[in-house]
Amino acid sequence: MGVFGAFVFGGDLYGSDADLQGAVVVTSKLVKVLFDIPVVVDAAYLSPSSYTVTVIEGTGPVAVRGVVVPTALTASSTLLEIDAMTAGTLYEVSSTDLSSTVGSDVVGTARFVGRRTKAETLLKTLPRHFDPRPAALITGLGMAMGMSDDLIGGSRSDSLL
């Protein structure tokens, strides 16, 4: 792979598609979709119809209700607002009409299992005067703390009642 100015050529970037790399459950109504190359934040990126969540195994259809608007012109992930997931159900997310920053299409799917998370438990305990929307700062902090704790495995005494 070589680099010329700001353009990358060869390897996996030039002339190949960008991959939908994975999906992480943030809360029972939020899924973080990861891309291997940053994608362009445009009308397609912001449209719920550009994303599909399908039940692979389990119950309960889920529709994408919204996309949390990022603060940059490119993004390596997106937050999808969806219908409440059923715990234990296996889902698959895919996208259409998305473009990467190198001009390739975003392809592929990612699977995830519906569950409750620590972020969700934390956000439900906030006093009513805090803004509960996914784009709110306090919600972002709660999601970051919950996802970080999930990443390190939490603790044995955790309870998600």
Percent above pLDDT 70 for the chain:
81
Q: Report whether 68 contacts 134 (CB < 8 A).
A: yes
Token digits of residue 114: 């519906």
CATH architecture of 16-115: Sandwich (2.60)
Say which residue the tokens 């709660």 belong to.
Answer: 142
Q: H helices of the chain, where?
A: 43-46, 118-124, 137-152
> For the whole model, what pTM was predicted?
0.74
pLDDT at 5 (0 to 100): 39
pLDDT tens digits, residue range 6-59? Answer: 344 434 445 567 788 899 888 888 899 999 889 999 999 999 999 999 999 998
For the chain, domain boundaries? 16-115, 117-156
* Pairing mode, strands 106-107 and 18-27: parallel
The per-residue pLDDT for range 77-93, each reduced to its tens digit, is 999 999 989 989 999 99
Residue whose pair of structure tokens reads 């709110």 in the numeric block: 136
- Report the pLDDT value the prediction gives residue 144, as an integer from 0 to 100: 74
Are 160 and 118 in contact by the 8 Å Cβ rule? The answer is yes
